[in-house]
């Protein structure tokens, strides 16, 4: 016998309300919001203004993320002295999962955790990893959904070179 459950009729309504109240996903040309307003766990770099930023969302359970970290480390070595800042944002629910992932990694770039899932929700980054390349003026210029090995690395190098040549406005 079927019993009426009022929560079944409320769920679609709640999902509709939530979807309409959430900010739109970040797009090319949008200004990167102030990262310090999202209560990230960990220390953000002191100087972001005027830098080219690679903002990467990742998770410990993500296979492609394990491959992207060595690539980001190479980008860090190659471009850091020229104005590139890499910020890797873990979306792991548990801090321990993030720490275990990072334990065997050679990482000299900033890693923080989005414990409250607010930044990843604002970006609407549903694929791991998802990265945003931000120019010196703070505008999102390139978005990468997933990590496709050498193809993505080549795109990173080309796009970062382009952004580093531009002046902040």
Catalytic center residues:
62, 65
Per-residue 3-state assignment (H helix, E strand, C coil) for 56-84 = EEECCCCHHHHHHHHHHHHHHHHHHHHCE
Q: Which residues pair with 89 in a beta bridge?
A: 57, 112
User: Alpha carbon of 35 to those of 2, 8, 10, 69, 159: distances in Å?
Assistant: 49, 37, 34, 21, 22
Q: Are 110 and 88 in contact (CB under 8 A)?
A: yes
Angular region, 146: left φ>0, alpha ψ -120 to 50, beta rest: left
- Strand 110-113, strand 130-134: pairing: unpaired
Structure tokens that stand for 1 in this block: 């016998």
């Amino acid at each position: 016998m079927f019993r009426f459950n009022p929560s079944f009729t409320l769920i679609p309504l709640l999902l509709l309300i939530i979807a309409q109240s959430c900010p739109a996903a970040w797009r090319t040309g949008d200004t990167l919001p102030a990262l310090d307003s999202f209560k990230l766990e960990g220390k953000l770099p002191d100087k972001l203004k005027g830098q080219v930023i690679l903002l990467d969302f990742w998770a410990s359970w993500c296979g492609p993320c394990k491959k992207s970290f060595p690539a980001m480390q190479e980008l860090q070595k190659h471009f850091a002295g020229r104005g590139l800042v890499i910020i890797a944002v873990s979306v792991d629910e548990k801090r321990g999962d993030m720490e275990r992932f990072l334990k065997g990694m050679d990482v000299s770039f900033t890693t923080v955790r989005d414990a409250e899932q607010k930044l990843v929700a604002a970006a609407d980054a549903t694929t791991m990893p998802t990265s945003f390349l931000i120019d010196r003026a703070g505008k999102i210029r390139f978005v990468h959904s997933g990590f496709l090995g050498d193809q993505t690395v080549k795109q990173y190098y080309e796009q970062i070179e382009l952004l580093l040549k531009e002046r902040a406005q």
